């Protein structure tokens, strides 16, 4: 059984989909759709680039839900926060980044509590 990866953004569950392209004529590594609660990540990215892209879209989601539109539209700020969070999460032995493609041998849901920075893991298979 394959589960669709999701992330929790301020209490709203977003589906994460790996897609061969975001837009046909313009390179985009990722995109968030607030109405559909969906994040698309380009499936040709390296694992690390994919993680940063997911965090980038999550930062967009947080800022949108907080109605911080000026910050939401500031790509330098959003990317800086995504890279900073990625470095923190990768550098902490307790932290983990939500898995995009859970391996069959350890299917579990990983969540990062954005308020505390703590992670929880829930066995789903
Ligand atoms: Zn962006």
pLDDT in tens, 51-79: 999 999 999 999 999 999 999 999 999 99
Provide the residue ranges of all domains of the chain, joining segments of one domain with +: 6-123
| C-alpha span between 77 and 66 (Å, rounded) | 15
| C-alpha span between 80 and 73 (Å, rounded) | 13
Q: Tokens standing for 5? A: 């990866």
Calculate how far, in angstroms, residue 82's C-alpha sits from the geometric centre of ligand 1.
10
Calculate how far, in angstroms, residue 3's C-alpha sits from the geometric centre of ligand 1.
26
Look at the chain and count its residues.
125
| C-alpha span between 32 and 14 (Å, rounded) | 9
> What percentage of the chain reaches a pLDDT higher than 90?
62
Calculate how far, in angstroms, residue 79's C-alpha sits from the geometric centre of ligand 1.
7
Q: Where is pLDDT greater, at 124 or 119?
A: 119
Q: So what's the pLDDT on residue 55? A: 97
Give strand pairing partners of 120.
111
Q: Where is pLDDT greater, at 40 or 117?
A: 40
- What's the mean pLDDT when you consider all of the chain? 81
Residues with Cβ–ion distance below 5 A, ligand 1: 75, 78
In eight-state DSSP terms, residue 5 is P
Q: So what's the pLDDT on residue 24? A: 82
The DSSP bridge pattern shows strands 12-19 and 6-9 to be antiparallel
Cα–Cα distances in Å, from 19 out to 42, 92, 108? 5, 29, 22
- Look up the pTM and report it: 0.72
Calculate how far, in angstroms, residue 104's C-alpha sits from the geometric centre of ligand 1.
31
**CATH class entry, domain 6-123:** mainly alpha
pLDDT band at 25 (very low <50, low <70, confident <90, very high): confident
């Amino acid at each position: 059984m394959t589960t669709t990866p999701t992330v929790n953004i301020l209490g709203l569950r977003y589906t994460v989909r790996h897609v061969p392209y975001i837009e046909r004529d313009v390179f985009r590594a990722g995109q968030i759709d607030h109405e559909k609660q969906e994040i698309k990540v380009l499936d040709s990215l390296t694992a690390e680039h994919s993680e940063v892209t997911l965090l980038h879209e999550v930062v967009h989601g947080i800022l949108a839900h907080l109605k911080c539109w000026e910050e939401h539209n500031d790509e330098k700020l959003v990317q800086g926060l995504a890279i900073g969070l990625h470095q923190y999460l990768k550098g902490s032995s307790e932290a983990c980044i939500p898995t995009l493609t859970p391996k069959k041998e350890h299917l579990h849901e990983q969540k990062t509590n954005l308020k505390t920075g703590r992670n929880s893991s829930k066995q789903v298979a």
